[in-house]
Amino acid sequence: MVDADGLTPGPRDHLITRAFERLLQRLDAEFREDIPLDPYEGPERLARHAMGEIARQLASDDDADAQATVQSERPSS
């Protein structure tokens, strides 16, 4: 079963971004279970999320030059 947002019901192991949080807010509280992340898992979860976001962006670019431009335009932390 897939709902209108394209999400299937079930357990999630996602970093809760603002967009994902908006989707979760649509659910009744009885269907949500918010559990704090173990502090030791934080860096790995954040890295996994960042890797997925970068891969998604790079996959949408046309060629290596476009990918390099996107990466060079990102602010560094």
46 in a structural domain: yes
How far, in Å, are 29, 40, 62 from residue 3 at the CA level?
Answer: 17, 33, 32
Structural domain contains residue 9? no
Domain hosting residue 47, numbered range:
18-73
- Dihedral pair phi/psi, residue 59, rounded to 5°: -65, -25
Whether 2 maps to a domain, the answer reads no
**Looking at the domain assignment, is residue 6 inside a domain?**
no
CA quadruple 18, 56, 47, 13: dihedral positive or negative? positive
Residue 76 has pLDDT above 80, yes or no: no
pTM across the whole model: 0.50
pLDDT per residue over 21-56, tens digit each?
Answer: 888 788 788 877 777 878 888 888 888 888 888 888
Tokens of 29: 């509280």
In sign, the C-alpha dihedral spanning 12, 17, 23, 26 is positive
How many domains would you assign to the chain? 1
Confirm whether 7 is domain-assigned.
no
